[in-house]
Every structure is written in C-alpha cells, then in structure tokens.
Homo-oligomer: A and B are copies of this chain.
Amino acid sequence: MELVLDRAPQLETEQIPLDRCLGRVLAADVSSPIDVPSFAKSSMDGYAVVSSEVAGASQSSPVVLTVVGVLSPGTVTDRPAGPGKCFEIGTGAAIPPGADCVVMVERTSRSGEAVSVFAGVKAGDNVVPSASDVERGDVVLKKGTHMGPRHIGVLAAVGQAYVSVAKRPVVALASCGPELVSVGDQLGPGMIYDINSSALKAALAEDGCSVVDLGVTGDDIDELNRAILAGAKQADMVIVSGGSSLGSSDLVTEVLTRSGRLLLHGVAVKPGKPLVIGEVEGKLFVGLPGNPLSALSSYYLFIQPVVRKALGTRPPGNRKVEAILAEDLSSVPDRFEFLPVRLEEGLDTVKAYPSRKGSSAISEMASSDGYVEIPTAIVALPRGMQVEVHLY
C-alpha cells in the first residue's frame, strides 16, 4: 500500500461550472462571499411590527395597526414600520426598516387597512436574522469534498457559479493476453473476451478518472512495451491487467525491468496474488491479475485508494453492511482473502452466502453483492457469525 500511495499522482486543479460538479472533488475550501440570509427575513406569514407597540396586546385588548404595504418574498421597501404602521409580510420576505418582529397571521384579525393584533411578540420573534445561517467568510465546504446534490446546493446558496476542483486523474489502461478478443469481435477457438478493459474502465469512471484506452496487447513484449510507454506519456498512472502471472510468460515485469522500475511482484492476497507495482516514466504502474474477479478486487484494494489520495477525498459514504454468515467457511491460512458473498435480506437479519466457484467465475461476478475480508491468520469462520460485507 505504501508503494502505491507514495506514488499517487499530483493533480492540477480546474474551474468548472456548478452544474458539472456532481461527483467531482473540491480542490480548495469554499468560503462564502455573502451572508446567508443576506437580510433579516420573516419565518412566518403575518405582520412585521415594532415589538414595543404590541407589547401589551391580548385577545381582550388588541392593538390596532395600519397596514401600509405588503411584503412578499423578493420585495423590499425603504418605508419604515411604526409608529402605528406595519406591513403584511410573507414567509421569506425581508423585514422592513423599523420592524423587529413578526406577529403570526393566526394571532391577528384584518379589516381593510386595519389589523388587530391579539398577542404580544418580542423583538426577534419569527425573524431569521441576517447571517444567522452562514457568515460572509465562513468556510461552507472543505477541500476534498466529494460533491453530491446537497454540496451542490450549498455552493448554489453562496452563489458559486464556478468551482475549483481536482482535475480527473488520467489513467492509461491495457489488457494483456494473446487469448483476449475485444468485445464485439469474433471469438475464435481458445480465445476469451477481454473482460477487464470494460470492467476496469467502468470502475475508473465511477471513481472520477479519465481513461486512455490502450486496448488489448498480445504476447509480443515490444508491443506491450510501446503501449506502456505511450500510456505513461499521456497519463498520470498506467494499469495493465494480465501478463503478470508468476509463470513463464511474465511480460509485464520484463517491460518494467527494461523501461521502468519494478518495485514489487506478488502479494499475499487471495484472489490477486500476481500483483505488480512499478514506475514507468516517473508514473505509477500497477499490473493487475488477468483473472477478472481478481483484477476487480485488486482494483478496489490498490487502485481506488490511490485515486482517492490523488483527488484528496474520502469515499462518498460508508458502503458496508452487517450480515450473518449462512454457511461455515474455510479460508487459506497464508493469504489475506476476499470472499465474494451474495446477500439475502431476512426478517431481522441479512444473510451472507459465500460464493463457491472461485475467482474465475463470471456467474459469481454477476450474483455476488459484496465481499468479506478475511485476515491472513483466520482459517475458518462458523455459520451464524456476524460479518461485515463491503458492498461492490
């Protein structure tokens, strides 16, 4: 993790319009240039009055005032309230000069331009003071905020038409394997579709990256070398899936040794053992397993954190649920394991059904809802145990 996180790309910032901010990450704290509200306003429908003039009002001895105007939201007046004068006012409208409170319409009775007030109100009653929500200069959103609808609402509230965000990390992505066929092409004998390009492109997009698609490379080391160097020049990070088995055709480590720097090959994680970490042209290089489920879980373990570090953000929310293991299960003793599970909601509990097919199964990829992390030292988990499921 240190090897990858220490090499997280440094991203520039850019200004983008507010309506394109969904899912982007703030590059700087946002301070409000205005008070919110920028004026004292009524929180009720009623009458804006001078509190001292209605202090003794009651049902039996109302105070009668003259209504000299109507203030609805968006209208303002420079005419003052008092003495003896008040304004009809709607919720959200600016309090007129001189008035210091609002008497609710329910406590009044109207007859032409005269209004009888049946209850005393104190200064400040039913008034939202200026700057009571946000003061000019207040930081309303912090650098690193991953923007959802409510954050975009906050930016609108303080009038930010343009927002400074971290540029999207540019990630060059290749799939390596002579057996791979691009989806849409004809599948010959002994060949399989390139699954990782599509799945990893979607995962990178979901995490806010732009992808430079280097396509599928076969077993020609020069072809792979050219693709990786071209990717490193255009991108902040290079990812290749496949070509990094611990067996004979280990193209990825050869390219790194030739054209970059090999930092690590192999991790004690199941699935996802044949991981490669390195550098090419000073950029982070990660070689993921060719196996699709392994590639995707290694993505979530090693790439997503580096993307988030580069963007300077945390995940947009907790994506874990507690569940009860529906079956006994065993785990390998010497590796950190990711166990895909399918969730079924019961009456009080959620049950987690472990997958049985192993890391190559497409059907498992389709049906699992998340995974349980099993630390290296754990070799068995009993049925009925409470586990934390990380949702995909």
Contact = CB atoms under 8 A, between A and B. Distances in A.
A-side interface size class: 35 or more
Contact of A319 (B201, B319, B368): B319
A249 interface: yes
B365 A183 contact: no
Interface in A218-232: 218-219
B36 A91 contact: no
B361 A133 contact: yes
Contact of A202 (B43, B149, B193, B319): B149
A36 B364 CA distance: 12
Nearest to A153: B199
Interface string A65-94: 000000011111000000000000011111
A72 B157 CA distance: 61
Nearest to A192: B37
A202 B23 CA distance: 9
Among A39, A41, A156, the most chain B Cβ lie within 10 Å of the Cβ of A156
Contacts of A199: 149-150, 152-153, 156
B22 A133 contact: no
- Number of copies of this kind of chain in the complex: 2
A140 interface: yes
A219 to B, nearest CB: 7
Nearest to A201: B19
24 contacts: A18-B198, A21-B202, A34-B187, A43-B360, A45-B248, A73-B178, A73-B179, A73-B190, A74-B218, A76-B190, A92-B192, A134-B362, A141-B366, A149-B200, A153-B362, A153-B365, A154-B365, A155-B198, A156-B183, A159-B193, A161-B183, A317-B319, A317-B391, A318-B391
Given A45-B247, A153-B199, A153-B296, 16 more contacts: A72-B219, A74-B179, A74-B190, A74-B191, A90-B249, A105-B247, A140-B362, A147-B202, A150-B199, A150-B366, A152-B198, A153-B365, A157-B192, A157-B193, A158-B362, A159-B187
